[in-house]
Amino acid sequence: MSQPFKPKPDWIRNTGLVSVGYWEPLYFLKYRGGQSTEVEAEYERAHSDDSLDALAAAGINLVWIHYFKGFGLEFEAEEMERAAEYIQRAHARGIKVAAYVTLGSLTPETLLPEEPEAQNWFQVNQDGLPPTCQTTFQCFRVRPCYNAEGYMRYLERVCGAALDAAADMIHFDNLGYNAEPDTCHCPVCVAAFREMLREKYGPHGEETRAAGQARFGHNGFTHLRPPLYNRWNQAVNQRRITVPHQQEWVRFKVRTLTRALERLSSHIQRRNPDCAVEANLFKPFGENTAWLHGIDYAEQLPHLDYAFSEEPHKPGLINAQGAAISRARTFKTARAFDVAIQVYHQDDNERSLELSLAENLAFNPKGLGHFGTPLSGYWAPGQAQRAESEALPRLTKAYVEFYRRHREELLLRTRSLATVGVYRDSASLAWNSVETHLSQLNVEQTLLERNVPFDLLYPNHLADLPRYKAVVLANAECLDDETVARLKAYVEAGGGLLATEQSGAFDGWRRKRPRSALAELFGPEFPGGARQEYGRGRAAYLPRLEHKARPETSPDVWYIFNSYWAPVGNDQELLDALRYAAGGGVPLERPRAEREAAGRGRAHAFRRDGRARPEPGPGGAADSTGGLRPLRGTSAGGPAACAPARLRPAAFRVRPSPRARSVYTGRSAAVCTLQDPVSSGVWAPRATFQVESSRLCFSRARVILISALALSS
C-alpha cells in the first residue's frame, strides 16, 4: 500500500487560491515559435509593478512564474534572478508565487555546453533515440531519465534555488512517460528493472523464489530487457496487459516516477515545510494512465499538496448519449487524497464559462481555479473596466468576488457526507484499457446523474471502508488477496458491497480464478443477479451493465473517450442493488443529530436569471417572489451575508427544472450561480456548513446549481 499523505502547509488549507500564471521564459517563447511580434513588450508588462498591482486588486492570490524550463541553470540564471525579484514584489502585495520547474523536459543544445554529463540523463527508447515531449511538435524538448542520479541531484539544486528565492510553491510540469514504445530503455533503467525483479522474484529467498516460479516460471532476470514492440505487436493495439513481463514494466515505470516525485517532495519539505508541492499530474479520465504514462494517482498524489489538471472534460458538453460531461472525477480524486486542485477557466462563451466556474465551486472548495496569464483578463494593467463592459470578464469577476467573500465560512472547511464509496482498483484499471474503464466510468456517471453522492476510493483507502454504508466495485476484475480479505471483513462487520460483472474474477496478476474471489458473499444465486446478508452486512451482485455505447474493435479505441460515457441502461437495477447493499438510506442518511442540524439549513435552486425556485416542503410554503436581497445577519445568529429574501429555514426542498437535460451530483461543497456579486443567495451561519449534495442541471436555456446545505451542530 502507498505511504501516508504528505503533511500540508497551513496556508494551503486556509487560503483558497485564485491563480494566474506566466510560466514560459522569453527564450522558450521564441524557441517554441508562434509568438506575437510584441512578445518582448508583453513580457515586460507581465512582470511589471502595474501588473502586480492589478492582480492584487482583482483578488488573484497565486501567480505561477517561470523558473526552470530545462535549458540549464547557467543559461537560465538571468531569468531565474528575475523570477526571484518578482517573488519579492509579489509578496509585498500579499500574492503567493509558485516557481515553475519542468520535471520532464531538457533542451540539449543549451544544457550540454554547461553540463556535459547531461548526455547520460536523456531517456533512450527501444530504437536508441531520445524520446521528445509529446506536445505540440516541440521536438527540441528531450525526455529525462528519472533513474539518472545526476539528473535527480541537478533537480534538487534547482528546487534549492527556488527555495532560496522564497517561492511559496514549486510546480512540477511535464511529469510522466511517453506512451509505449517511446519509453526509456537506457542502461540505467534496464539495470534497475532487472534489480526490481530480482528483489521480488529472484532465487535468494524461499518466498521470492516461489513468487518467481508462480509469476514467470523461472527466477533468472540477468538478461531480461524491457518489452519490445514491432509492426506486428504494436502497443497502441493492446487493450489488455496480461503478459507478466509487461505488467512488471508498468509497475516499474510507476515506481520510478513515484520515487522521483517523493524524493523531490521530501527534499522541499526538509528545506522549507511551508513550501507547497504541486504537479501537473492529472490525465483525462478514461485513459489507462499507468500503462500509457506511468501515472498512478494512488501512488503519486500522496506526495503532493496541490495538483493541476488540463483534462478536456469540461462541463456543459452533452454527448450523443445525452450524458453530461464533467470534471467531477478529477475533483473527487484530488479530495480523496487531501490535495487541492487547479483547473483552467478559459472559455469563449458566457454559458460554458459559468458552468466551469459553478462546477469548480460545487466540487473544489479549496480553490477557484486558474484564469490564464497576468495579461489575459480584467486583472491586466488598465483593463479593470472590462469587468463592467464585457460579459465574460463581468461573470469572472462576480465569481472571484463571491469566492473571496465566502470561501472561509462556506468552503474551505467542508467535508464529504457521502455514505457511498466507489472503489477504483489500480490493477483492474492498469491491466485492461477498455472494459474495466468503461464500467467504472459509467457506474460513476449513473450515480452522478441520478444524484447519489459518493466518494472515490483507491487502494490507499481500504482502511477507511467502515466510514461508508456501501462500497461499489464496478467490474473490478483484478483484486489481489489482501483487497479481497479487506472487502470481506468490511461486509462481515456490517458494510454493504455492490459488485458488477467480472469483479474478483482475476487475481492481482490478472490470472483467471476458477470462481470469483467474492462469490461466497453473494450466495447460491451467483453468478446470476444475487443478494445476500453476510455476517452483519449485505452484498449484491449485478452480472451485467447495459452500456449505451461500447467500443468494439482495436485499434479504434485506445482509451474510453467521453463519447462513450453515459448512465447504464439498467440504472434502476443498479440503484436498487445499491440500496439493498446499503440497507436503504441511498443517497444519504445521517444520524439524528445531523438531521436536526440540517433542519436549520437551507436548500436553494438558482436560475441563470438569479431567481430562486424553491419548492414547498413539509415545513412551510415557498416564497412567491423568488427575489434575492442582501441580508444583514441570519436566523442562526451568524455574521452579515447574502441570502434569499423571506425564505424560512427548513421550509423548502429543491427540484431541478424539468427541462434540464442531465444532472450530476457534487461531492462536498456547492453554493450558487450568481446574478451579481451582491445577490449571491448564500447565507453564512455561525458554524461551518457541511454539504449534503449539490447538483448541476444543464439545459439549453439555463444553468441551475443546487446547494443542499446542512448546518453542523
Residue-wise pLDDT tens digits, 78-93 = 999 999 999 999 999 9
Provide the pLDDT for residue 611: 31
* Over residues 635-656, mean pLDDT: 26
Nearest to 188 by CA among 120, 141, 261: 120
Lowest mean pLDDT among 41-50, 481-490, 548-557, 565-574: 548-557
Taking only the tens place, the pLDDT of each residue in 222-261 is 999 999 999 888 888 888 999 999 999 999 999 999 999 9
Contact 155, 149 (CB under 8 A): no
Helix, strand, coil percent content, the chain, rounded in steps of 5: 35, 20, 45
Helices (H), 337-434: 350-363, 386-389, 391-406, 426-430
Strand partners, 282: 309
pLDDT band at residue 557 using 50, 70 and 90 as cut-offs? low
Provide the pLDDT for residue 556: 54
* Over residues 24-30, mean pLDDT: 94
Taking only the tens place, the pLDDT of each residue in 261-281 is 999 999 999 999 999 999 999
pLDDT band at residue 318 using 50, 70 and 90 as cut-offs? confident
Number of C-beta neighbours around residue 190 at 10 A = 16
* Over residues 652-660, mean pLDDT: 28
Nearest to 330 by CA among 294, 367, 373, 275: 367
Taking only the tens place, the pLDDT of each residue in 336-348 is 999 999 999 988 8
Q: Could you give the 3-state DSSP secondary structure of residue 550?
A: coil
Provide the pLDDT for residue 263: 98
Lowest mean pLDDT among 206-215, 349-358, 462-471: 349-358
Q: Is the pLDDT of residue 617 over 90?
A: no
Q: Is the pLDDT of residue 159 over 60?
A: yes
**pTM for this entry:** 0.85
Q: Mean pLDDT in the chain? A: 82
Q: 542 versus 602: which is more confidently predicted?
A: 542
User: What whole-number percentage of the chain has pLDDT above 70?
Assistant: 80
Q: 139 versus 615: which is more confidently predicted?
A: 139
Q: Is the pLDDT of residue 521 over 50?
A: yes
- Residue 532, phi then psi, degrees to nearest 5: -160, 145
Provide the pLDDT for residue 342: 93
* Over residues 294-311, mean pLDDT: 95
Provide the pLDDT for residue 559: 82
Provide the pLDDT for residue 409: 85
Q: Is the pLDDT of residue 9 over 80?
A: yes
Q: Is the pLDDT of residue 484 over 60?
A: yes
Measured between alpha carbons, how far apart are the two ends of the chain, in Å? 36
Q: Is the pLDDT of residue 598 over 90?
A: no
Lowest mean pLDDT among 1-10, 205-214, 470-479: 1-10
- State which of 51-55, 601-605, 617-621 shows the largest mean pLDDT: 51-55
Q: Is the pLDDT of residue 640 over 90?
A: no
- Residue 466, phi then psi, degrees to nearest 5: -60, -15
Provide the pLDDT for residue 584: 83
Contact 633, 640 (CB under 8 A): yes
User: What whole-number percentage of the chain has pLDDT above 90?
Assistant: 69
Contact 133, 179 (CB under 8 A): no
Contact 499, 542 (CB under 8 A): yes
Q: What domains lie within the chain, and their CATH numbers?
A: 10-185+226-411 (3.20.20.70), 420-581 (3.40.50.880), 592-711 (no CATH)
Do you find a cis peptide bond into 587, omega within 30 degrees of 0?
yes
Q: 412 versus 592: which is more confidently predicted?
A: 412
What DSSP state is assigned to residue 445?
A: H
Phi-psi region of 578 (alpha: psi -120 to 50; beta: other; left: phi over 0): alpha
pLDDT band at residue 105 using 50, 70 and 90 as cut-offs? very high
* Nine cell digits for residue 206: 524461499
* Nine cell digits for residue 685: 451561519
pLDDT band at residue 208 using 50, 70 and 90 as cut-offs? very high
* Over residues 100-124, mean pLDDT: 97
Provide the pLDDT for residue 479: 98
Strands 689-698 and 703-711: antiparallel
Taking only the tens place, the pLDDT of each residue in 690-706 is 233 333 333 222 223 33
Q: Is the pLDDT of residue 381 over 70?
A: yes
